Amino acid sequence: MYRNVNLDAHLSALLFLGGAGLLVVLAIAGAVLCFWNRHWLRYAIGALAVLVIGYGGLLLAFSLFSRERTLTRGEEKYFCELDCHLAYSVRQVERAKIIGNTTANGEFYIVTLRARFDETTTAPWRPRDVPLTPDPLDFAVIDEQGRAVQRSSAGQSAWGALHETPTSLLRPLLPGESHDLTLVFDVPADLPSPRLLASFAVFPTQVLIGDENSVLHKKTYFSL
């Protein structure tokens, strides 16, 4: 199973919440000690430094031991929703210079992506008749130098007008259900080795230990 994390998501969330809570407590304690007993203030500052350095060290350690992967057609990348997992895969890639009356600056990459609610990952306490609305993902085509190309609004509109395809990956899913979405990118001709990256790009993923959005963490891409 290829995932967007290399640490259990529940443990990562608990470490973040626990660390954030302790950070607030120590900050309040430091503020109180400034006025009440400055002799003890150094202990609060020391504990605060240990917490920040320790958490930062774990964050960097999991990033440095992560591995970059490129998934082939049909291979799935799993995203944890805490009580279940959604799996995403590239089903088809088409390339075209023109879609309808819209011409690409470079070349249109038309990517058919599938989202699947893997029922085998559903937590025992989660009702199986309650649909899941996926957390929003960001999609970009990335080259080997890290340059990113976002979705083409003009290309997406042209494709949708011709094919009447769904435009949102936020469609609710029941366990075992899946649906496809077409993504359109206007990729420059000089972009070497383009790959698709699907990722959560919202806070606090940047500071979650083991999350691929964290600093220096390697990514899992889809081959195009």
pLDDT at 165: 63
CATH fold group of domain 1-224: Immunoglobulin-like (2.60.40)
pLDDT beyond 90 at 68: yes
How buried is 135 (Cβ within 10 angstroms: 0-12 exposed, 13-18 middle, 19+ buried)?
Answer: middle
Q: Is 80 exceeded by the pLDDT of residue 37?
A: no
CA separation, residue 39 to residues 23, 26, 103, 207 (Å): 20, 15, 70, 32
Reported as a single tens digit per residue, the pLDDT across 155-164 is 999 998 888 7
Quick one: pLDDT at residue 168? 67
What number of CA atoms fall less than 13 Å from residue 143's CA on the CB side?
Answer: 12
- Residue with structure tokens 């990729």? 187
State the alpha helices, DSSP H only, in 91-163: 153-163
Per-residue confidence (pLDDT) for residue 167, from 0 to 100: 58
**Confidence tier at 90 by pLDDT (50, 70, 90):** very high
Q: Could you report the per-residue pLDDT of 73-85, keeping only the tens digit for each?
A: 999 999 988 788 8
pLDDT above 70 as % of the chain:
98
Range from 40-44, 93-97, 162-166, 192-196 carrying the lowest mean pLDDT: 162-166
Average pLDDT, whole number, for the chain?
Answer: 90
**Residue 97, exposed/middle/buried by CB under 10 A (0-12, 13-18, 19+)?**
exposed
Helix, strand and coil content of the chain, in percent to the nearest 5, comes to 30, 35, 35
